[in-house]
């Protein structure tokens, strides 16, 4: 897990464990295959930000095996949990 912070109108990637600032592709260098990466805000917004963390979004999309209904249900459940 890592954080993003809103600074001067932009979201900036921060990974305190790796001392990484604005290096969203750092995990690809570890051989990680990003499939689903979602951003959660305190106001209940949930956004798919996978494209920011991979150089090959097409491959990420091909790895996804959840149906649209599954994703909608998971995002809805996450929103409820986030707002409670």
Query: What pLDDT, on the 0 to 100 scale, is given for residue 14?
Result: 93
Q: What is the pTM of this model?
A: 0.72
pLDDT 10s digits, 22-67: 999 999 888 888 888 888 877 777 888 899 999 999 999 888 888 8
DSSP E strand boundaries for the chain: 3-7, 10-15, 20-21, 38-40, 46-48
Cβ atoms of 78 and 72 closer than 8 Å: no
The count of other CB atoms within 10 Å of the CB of residue 6 is 9
């Amino acid at each position: 897990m890592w954080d993003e912070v809103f600074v001067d109108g932009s979201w900036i990637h921060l990974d305190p464990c790796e001392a990484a600032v604005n290096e969203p592709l750092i995990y690809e260098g570890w051989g990680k295959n990003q499939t689903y990466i979602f951003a959660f805000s305190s106001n209940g917004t949930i956004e798919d930000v996978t494209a920011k963390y991979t150089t090959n979004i097409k491959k990420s999309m091909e790895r996804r095996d959840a149906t649209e209904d599954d994703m909608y249900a998971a995002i809805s459940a996450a929103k409820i949990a986030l707002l409670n």
